Amino acid sequence: MSAAVVEELYGRYKRAALATGATLLLDEDPAPLAKAAAGLLADSRAALAGADGAVAAPLEACVRASAELHALLARAVADGSSIGAADADRVRASHSDLRREVWKVIPCEYVPCSGVHRHDHRHER
Amino acid sequence: MADYSIWIVEYARVVEYPVGAVLYGRWNAGHLVLPYCYAVVKGEGHLAVVDTGFNYAEFGKVLADTYGVSDWRGADVVLGRIGIDPAEVDTMVLTHNHFDHAGGVEFFPNAHVYIQEREVSNYLWAHGLPARLQWLTTAVDPDLMLWLVGRMKQNKLTLLKDETEILPGVRAIPALDTHTAGSQYVTVENGRDGNWLLAGDNCYVYESFTGANDDGVFVPIGLAFGSMERCMLTMEEMWQYVDGDVTRIVPFHEQRLWETFPSFQFDDTLHMAELSLAAGEPSRVEAAKAEARGTR
């Protein structure tokens, strides 16, 4: 299993997490995102089951972060008013762990191609 | 009329940044020093920051190192130099959700946050896009959105939809579909010395207004997630607001701020500029100079 799987799952996670924040802030219906997060969690678990080497740690982190995200969204579906800052902070913590692990195998994820740094896009991976 | 003091504090810099990333189309124009700054506005019983810098830890550290950012100092240091405790800040305006502007929100635990609703709702739209378009969320991190959820639960968040007066004479002006989907800039109507415009990244340097050849032909910013047309029209709106006096527009990545306004360079090479002083407010620049004379 290659780092491309990590990149694909993390990309999905990132967009889902951004949208989760937006959904809660704008009081949108969380049900579609909860379904997407459930799918992400299932796919992350499946990827982890077949993983080894360097990608195992980021995939484990992806499973944990996806589970936290799904739990937050499931709670929002059940009763959004019950969500507090501590709930969001748990998702933030798991996202932080995920990001740290992902960046060990995928550099340059956030940075537009305009910085002074010498890019390593890992085209060879 | 309102009476505010305004300072610009430099908290980090990139010493070698491509000009083409700052001014659109100037691909082979070499590099410049790109300071990282935010604004402090004090008066009318309030203490506000426009943007927050970033935290040189985890996400912020990785990005800063990747970008070649150096000389970082936290809000406690750069605000401490002008006698301000970040915990005293009661108002925070985020011009947009990029790490160097909104990555330091946790330094200001008591601030009420103002951000454009569009900067938030854009992520709902982005979630529905195929993975091949993920560049559109390249420079943003989910953490701010999740942190804002906590702020909302504490009733310390306002999502702005239109031009809004945040404090007396201080307005947030939406600049949608420009640098980012929900960018904004801030205007300050100061009774003492007229209008100021805190630009965020709606322009990086004065040259966007004065022209690449000092010909007065606007040059758009080097990075826009929205449209260049909207960037240009927003710049025109900004220019009109200051009646063409470009020094009244304050870009947060402009190294010429230090020569345009009274300023001081600290021993760690970072700067602070004093744009305006309210009645009775002591000059931080003069105080810093006096302190330096006493210690050198």
Question: What average pLDDT is seen over chain A?
Answer: 87
A109 falls within a domain: no
Range(s) of the domain holding residue A38: 3-102
A123 falls within a domain: no
A49 falls within a domain: yes
User: For B93-126, how does the pLDDT look when each residue is reduced to its tens digit (9 = 90+)?
Assistant: 999 999 889 999 999 999 999 999 999 999 999 9
Asked if B120's CB is within 8 angstroms of A26's CB, the reply is yes
Stated pTM of the model = 0.94
Cα–Cα distance measured from residue B250 to residue B139, given in angstroms and rounded to the nearest whole number: 23
CB of B136 within 8 Å of a chain A CB? The answer is no
**Given this model, what pLDDT does residue B131 score?**
87
For residues B295 and B244, which has the higher predicted lDDT (pLDDT)? B244
Distance from the Cα of residue B278 to its chain's centroid: 21
CB of B2 within 8 Å of a chain A CB? The answer is no
Query: Which residues, 6 or more positions from B115, have their beta carbon under 8 angstroms from its beta carbon?
Result: B93, B94, B97, B102, B148, B157, B158, B159, B160, B182, B184
Asked if A115's CB is within 8 angstroms of B145's CB, the reply is no
A63 falls within a domain: yes
**Given this model, what pLDDT does residue B76 score?**
97
The DSSP bridge partners found for residue B264 are B272
Say which DSSP state B225 is in.
Answer: S
Residue B235 has pLDDT above 80, yes or no: yes
**Given this model, what pLDDT does residue A119 score?**
45
Instruction: Name the region of B9 (left: φ>0; alpha: ψ -120 to 50; beta: rest).
Output: beta
CATH number, span B5-295? 3.60.15.10
What is the ipTM score, two decimals? 0.92
Q: What mean pLDDT do residues A34-52 have?
A: 95
CB of A12 within 8 Å of a chain B CB? The answer is yes
Residue of B nearest to A97 (CA): B58
Domain count, chain A: 1
Smallest CA–CA distance, residue B68 to chain A, in Å, is 6
Query: Which residues, 6 or more positions from B177, have their beta carbon under 8 angstroms from its beta carbon?
Result: B226, B227, B230
**How is chain B split into domains, by residue range?**
5-295
